[in-house]
């Protein structure tokens, strides 16, 4: 297998927490990349299953793999730890239960290095071994521009086409650009990608879209993607929105305007989804939104939050 690299082109950061059933396939999809000049940084985030054993066995086969272990601190802290050790020219964040196309890193590296991009982004497909279905679409081919743009132009275009995806697993990032922003993940929250990716786009001078499906997202029981939506999700969206508002306040008018547009794009659906919660929680959310976030919530989301039976009524009247 691969030998350790002194000056890797790419640092792949893989946080691992109790994904023993899937982690070998995920890591192997990185080990088998056609771009071999990389380092694989695995951060074991306090796993209590056999994840650490599995990645250690893989490390014995591939000296490009380095493993760091910490007590469970969450996805943001694990990614930040990986970043602190990364020395590659570019950064890619991989999830430990998903799969990356073997040509992805080479295609992204060639694109970024030849065009001097701050980052590039690409598409994904979702799949499930457990017959889980979610209405997730990551295919943007033919819907958005593939030409080089500023991050702000691209972010606006993605939102206008309803094609903005915040997952960092769809991004391939120049490490120097990332360092210039002093950008990392806010620890202790979920929906951290919403905050990270918006800031990344808003400040980039040169980005481009690769219209290829490189990432395969696994839908599985108990994952962040498939867990029941609760008031905890909404409270974390409040944190993300507060952080984005704070960020926008220190930026120029164009960035400020686009960040508020981005907040509405991601926050309004989050409030709509809260229609599934108990009345007490919905009332609490409604009060908080009315006081602090009402300009980001559509009339439709207000109505279904307070009167969720309207959704059923709409289906009956079709």
Q: What is the pLDDT of residues 261-276, one digit of tens each?
A: 999 999 999 999 999 9
Contacts of 117 (CB under 8 A, 6+ apart): 111, 148, 174, 206, 207, 208
Rounded-to-integer distance, Cα 80 and Cα 15, Å: 10
For residue 13, what are its two tokens? 């950061």
Rounded-to-integer distance, Cα 203 and Cα 192, Å: 18
Residue 316: the pLDDT is 41
Cβ 84 vs Cβ 77: under 8 Å = no
Residue 228: the pLDDT is 84
- DSSP 8-class letter at 191: S
Rounded-to-integer distance, Cα 47 and Cα 18, Å: 5
Rounded-to-integer distance, Cα 283 and Cα 291, Å: 12
Q: How many CB atoms lie within 10 A of CB 236?
A: 19
Fold of the CATH domain 10-219: Spore Coat Polysaccharide Biosynthesis Protein SpsA; Chain A (3.90.550)
Residue 200: the pLDDT is 98
Question: What residues in the chain have per-residue pLDDT under 50?
Answer: 315-318
Residue 223: the pLDDT is 59
For residue 271, what are its two tokens? 């409030």
Element (H, E) at 284: helix 279-288
Q: List the domain boundaries for the chain.
A: 10-219, 231-316
Cβ 256 vs Cβ 249: under 8 Å = yes
Q: How many CB atoms lie within 10 A of CB 291?
A: 8
Rounded-to-integer distance, Cα 159 and Cα 60, Å: 44
Residue 45: the pLDDT is 98
Q: Which residues pair with 40 in a beta bridge?
A: 12, 65
Residue 317: the pLDDT is 41
């Amino acid at each position: 297998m691969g030998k350790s690299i002194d000056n890797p082109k790419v640092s792949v950061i893989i946080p691992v927490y109790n994904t023993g059933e899937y982690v070998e396939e995920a890591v192997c999809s990185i080990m088998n990349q056609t771009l071999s000049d990389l380092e694989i940084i695995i951060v074991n985030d306090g796993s209590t299953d056999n994840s650490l054993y599995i990645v250690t066995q893989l490390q014995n086969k591939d000296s490009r793999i380095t493993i760091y272990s910490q007590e469970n601190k969450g996805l943001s802290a694990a990614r930040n730890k990986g970043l602190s050790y990364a020395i590659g020219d570019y950064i890619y964040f991989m999830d430990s239960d998903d799969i990356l196309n073997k040509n992805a890193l080479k295609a992204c590296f060639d694109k970024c290095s030849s065009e001097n991009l701050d980052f590039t982004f690409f598409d994904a497909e979702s799949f499930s071994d457990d017959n889980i279905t979610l209405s997730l679409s990551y295919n943007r081919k033919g819907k958005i521009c593939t030409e080089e743009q500023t991050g702000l132009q691209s972010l606006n275009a993605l939102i206008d086409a309803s094609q903005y995806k915040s997952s960092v697993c769809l991004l391939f990032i120049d490490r120097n650009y990332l360092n210039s922003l002093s950008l990392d993940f806010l620890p202790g929250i979920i929906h951290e990608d919403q905050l990270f990716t918006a800031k990344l786009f808003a400040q980039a001078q040169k980005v481009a879209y690769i219209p290829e499906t490189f990432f395969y997202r696994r839908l599985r029981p108990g994952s962040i993607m498939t867990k029941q939506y609760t008031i905890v999700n909404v409270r974390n969206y409040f944190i993300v929105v507060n952080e984005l508002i704070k960020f926008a306040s220190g930026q120029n008018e164009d960035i400020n305007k686009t960040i508020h547009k981005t907040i509405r794009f991601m926050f309004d659906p989050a409030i709509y989804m809260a229609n599934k919660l108990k009345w007490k929680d919905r009332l609490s959310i409604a009060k908080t939104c009315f006081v602090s976030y009402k300009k980001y919530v559509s009339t439709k989301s207000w109505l279904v939050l307070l009167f969720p039976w309207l959704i059923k009524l709409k289906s009956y009247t079709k």
